[in-house]
Amino acid sequence: GLPVDLGPVTITEEPSSDEKNQIEWAGKINYTNSKLDLGLAFFMGRQRSPYILSDTPSSLSAVHFSYPKITMLGLEFERPFSNWVFRMDSALISGENTDQFNLNSINPYVETSFALESKINTSFRAIVYPILKNFINFKTQEEVSTSSDYNAIEKQLYLFNRIINGYQYKDQNSMGLRLSYESESLSHTASIFYLKNFTTEESYLQWDYKYVLNDSLELGVGVLNYEGSDQTRFGLLAEKSSYFSKITYWF
């Protein structure tokens, strides 16, 4: 089972006023010529996925969500080759400690993706990209579990947060594939996105189709599918796998 069974707990508070009213900063500088595109970016704000923290170190009867501050520095590179486009995006992300035990801090990490995109014809487009992630100052599960500095609740909650935030392993390798179709009239569009994490053996699939009837009405259907063990983020979301349909009306 899970490294921690949260069971019936009470969420004692929403995110703090500081977190809800956070001012975020972002910027980007680009250099472009006929052969390449370079970019430098930064972001200072809150992480989008929460950490679950206990109100008391010895009990999980009451918990609250926390969205730690993070800082991101990014590098982007793009180069066209005939009918192909090569892209690289790399980011260094670090963050604040979220509690006094220094167990739920944002481990600094580097994430790099390499994308190869091809426009097969006027309607079809394909993108393949491997994703590499490396965590700095990483604690293994064994190091956390055998540490005498923290009690069992602190250790288990930390390991659970590692699952829902996707950093169970120091090095992680993933692969993404996106196929898209767009008719010449733009009335039909379809796309498939598949992401596989080979390190944690979990995957995510999204398929959607849209049909534009007129300038005011659009119909759509799709599928969301999560797969993985209950020790993975997508595995925890498996019960959320679903089919969906939607109607969009503009007026």
Q: What is the pTM of this model?
A: 0.79
- 57-80 burial, b if ≥16 CB within 10 A, otherwise e? eeebeebbbbbbbbbbebebebee
Distance in angstroms (rounded) separating the CA atoms of residues 170 and 159:
14
Give 89's pLDDT tier (boundaries 50, 70, 90).
Answer: very high
Residue 113: partners with Cβ closer than 8 Å, 6 or more residues away? 87, 88, 89, 90, 129, 130, 131, 132, 176
Residue 114 near residue 133, CB atoms below 8 Å: no
Read off the pLDDT of residues 193-232 as tens digits, 9 standing for 90 and up.
999 999 999 999 999 999 999 889 999 999 999 999 988 8
- For the chain, the domains span 1-95+138-170
Read off the pLDDT of residues 15-71 as tens digits, 9 standing for 90 and up.
666 666 778 999 999 999 888 999 999 999 988 887 777 777 666 767 778 888 889
Distance in angstroms (rounded) separating the CA atoms of residues 199 and 170:
10
What pLDDT is stored for residue 141 in this prediction? 76
What pLDDT is stored for residue 230 in this prediction? 83
